[in-house]
Amino acid sequence: MSGVSKTSEWQSLADSAAALSDISMRDMFAEDQGRFERFSIEAAGLFLDYSKNKITDEVADKLAALAVAVDIEGARKDMIEGKSINKTESRAVLHVALRDFAARAYHVDGEDVSQPVRAERDKMKKFCADLHQGMFKGHTGKSLDTVVNIGIGGSDLGPQMVVDALRPYWINGRRAFFVSNVDGQHLSDVLAVIDPETTLFVVASKTFTTQETLANAQSAKAWFLNSGAPEDSVAKHFVALSTNEASVTAFGIDPKNMFRFWDWVGGRYSLWSAIGLSIALQIGFENFENLLRGAHAMDEHFRTAPVKENMPMMLALVGVWNRNFQGAAAHAVLPYDQHLHRLPAYLQQADMESNGKTVTIDGAPVGVETGPVIFGEPGTNGQHAFYQLLHQGTDIVSSDFIAPALSQSPLGAHHEMLLSNFLAQTEALMRGKTEKEVRAEMATEGHSKPEIDALAPHKVFPGDRPSNSIVMEKLTPATLGALIALYEHKIFCQGVIWGVNSFDQWGVELGKVLAKSILPEIAAIAAQAQHVTDHDASTNGLINWINEIRTNNKGE
């Protein structure tokens, strides 16, 4: 068993969960008019209501005591002070330094990193200005109005999610595309609709060794040169975002067209760094800065607020309550804002890659359930798809509902309809509908007793399904920045509670290594398809089946 499950606070929470098993949230609300006031927090332009979770004051106190027992405040201090908290990779974790515009110093290995951070941000700012004002032009003298970001994972999901989320802030006439998948269809689809003379390729890769990104970047470069562009014009159409100057240079990108960041910026925490260049080019540098400032406002709240008033901490603690004491193995992210349609995918990586771990930071079995499965879709689309399971499935799924009070694009009564759906869903999940209510309703509607007997069980909603609501005035660069930082810190706090290292991702390595060994065995890459026997029977069988088709179809 891990450290945390042995603490008296953990045991005491388990006792509370057992004691509350016969009490419904519906009753809790009926008996206590003050839940909303007590179980809500406002900070950095966001309002969190966590009252629709099966908690009491006693549980909230015990959760806060758990946070103290695992020394969450000490862990937070260690992160901000640049200690090497990512122990398995011997790295500091300092994405907060990237969005601090004050003169505060951040030290990594005794060196203040705030100056290089500022210098790189200034370089990005100048580049954006030059490109937007047409001073940085393509090789035929045309302005570059299109950006193709080539990256994957942390070098793709964040920038793409933010660019989509901030569509109302797009600079008129500019286009941004994101290519990540090594599936050639992804790049081909984009190349089909862009003009090489007006396109800037932004090759985003922290390591600059990632197979998918390098393959896409090489193919994009070949396409660009095939369009008739001379070799020396690559400098005008390709820039790199990376920590690896040698590989950037070897690829053929001039280091003066390279925007740097550092190994203390984790891939999935990197949109605030040079990795945000595609965001800044699409929405303007001032709006990019506002995104950073919004995140910083949440950082300041996270850094200074006591546990029970601390939004990321309470979101994390309620998440632990649902995951470990209420049996919620899955967590839905449900943005009621179409522009946040990539937020579930972004948080899937942020959360699952960070906390999908089975050993503690010291390598011992963790002994408790860790990160839940994260999934989601924008409301109201999800309502017509998977909410059935949220309401009546056999498993408890917790959820976050996210909505702006005001729309960026008001259109008739659309936003009122959207908001009413968001609020209705959280109420329905919490209250449910009893058999007695179903029967009474059906009787009022004039149904016969046999009809009621047959249908009533299907129309019962158990309720007691936990949800958080996160609302804001409008989805702006600043509120989006705060929202992302909220989740980053929530994930960090949960990692501290479970005792895992939230900043490594060894679980993605094995597949990469195996893919390298299979690549030469795929026909058309192999000079001649061999009968493959060096894997398990299933993998061998699939390779041989695919190879047979591929060797018979020489067009491939």
Give the residue with the Cβ less far from ligand G6Q, 205 or 494: 205
The mark string for 199-218 relative to ligand G6Q (x by CB under 6 A, - otherwise) is: ------xxx--x--x-----
Tell me the residue nearest to ligand G6Q as measured from the CB: 153
Q: Which is nearer to ligand G6Q, 198 or 207 (CB)?
A: 207
Is 234 or 241 the residue whose CB approaches ligand G6Q more closely? 241
- Residue 155 in contact with ligand G6Q, rule: CB under 6 A: yes
Q: Known catalytic residues?
A: 353, 384, 512
Q: Does 439 bind ligand G6Q (CB under 6 A)?
A: no
| From candidates 113, 117, 150, 152, binder to ligand G6Q by CB under 6 A | 152
Is residue 91 at the binding interface for ligand G6Q, with CB under 6 A as the rule? no
Cβ count within 10 A of residue 217: 27
Least Å distance, CB 207 to ligand G6Q, is: 3
Between 276 and 404, name the residue whose CB sits nearer to ligand G6Q: 276
Q: Which stretch binds ligand G6Q (CB under 6 A): 120-128, 153-161, 356-364, 473-481?
A: 153-161
Q: Which distant-in-sequence residues (6+ apart) come within 8 Å of 503 by Cβ?
A: 85, 86, 89, 91, 93, 266, 354, 495
Structure tokens at 190: 């984009």
How many CA atoms lie less than 13 Å away from 415 in the CB half-sphere?
13
Q: Which of 45, 82, 138, 153 binds ligand G6Q (CB under 6 A)?
A: 153
Is 248 an interacting residue with respect to ligand G6Q (CB under 6 A)? Answer: no
Angle formed at CA 311 by CA 310 and CA 313, multiple of 5 degrees = 70
Cβ-based nearer residue to ligand G6Q, 143 or 218: 218
Kindly give, in sequence order, each residue whose CB lies less than 8 Å from that of residue 21, ignoring residues fewer than 6 positions away. Answer: none
CA distance 489 to 248: 32
Binding mask of the shown chain, residues 501 to 520, with x at each position contacting ligand G6Q by CB under 6 A: ----x---------------
Question: Interface with ligand G6Q includes 355 (CB under 6 A)?
Answer: no
CA distance 481 to 483: 5
| Binding flag, residue 323, ligand G6Q (CB under 6 A) | no
Rounded CA-CA distance 119/127 in Å is 12
Return the number of the residue (160 or 479) whose C-beta is nearest ligand G6Q: 160
In terms of DSSP H, where are the helices of 99-173? 114-132, 157-165
Q: Does 466 bind ligand G6Q (CB under 6 A)?
A: no
The encoded tokens of residue 326 equal 């209420």
Residue of 394, 376, 396 whose CA lies nearest to 386: 376
- Min separation Cβ 5 and ligand G6Q, Å: 27
304: which 2 tokens? 């200074």
Q: How does DSSP classify residue 137?
A: B
DSSP class of 87? G
278 near ligand G6Q, rule: CB under 6 A: no
Which 17-76 positions form the footprint of ligand G6Q (CB under 6 A)? none
> Are the C-beta atoms of 177 and 147 separated by less than 8 Å?
yes
Q: Which of 268, 331, 357, 465 binds ligand G6Q (CB under 6 A)?
A: 268
276 is an interface residue for ligand G6Q by CB under 6 A: no
Binding of ligand G6Q at residue 371 (CB under 6 A)? no
Q: Are 473 and 286 in contact (CB under 8 A)?
A: no
Nearer to ligand G6Q, 242 or 383 (CB): 242
How many residues touch ligand G6Q under the rule CB under 6 A: the total is 14
C-alpha distances (whole Å) from 191 to each of 174, 219, 224 are 16, 10, 9
C-alpha 513/C-alpha 168 separation (Å) is 42
Contact positions vs ligand G6Q (CB under 6 A): 152-155, 205-207, 210, 213, 266-268, 353, 505
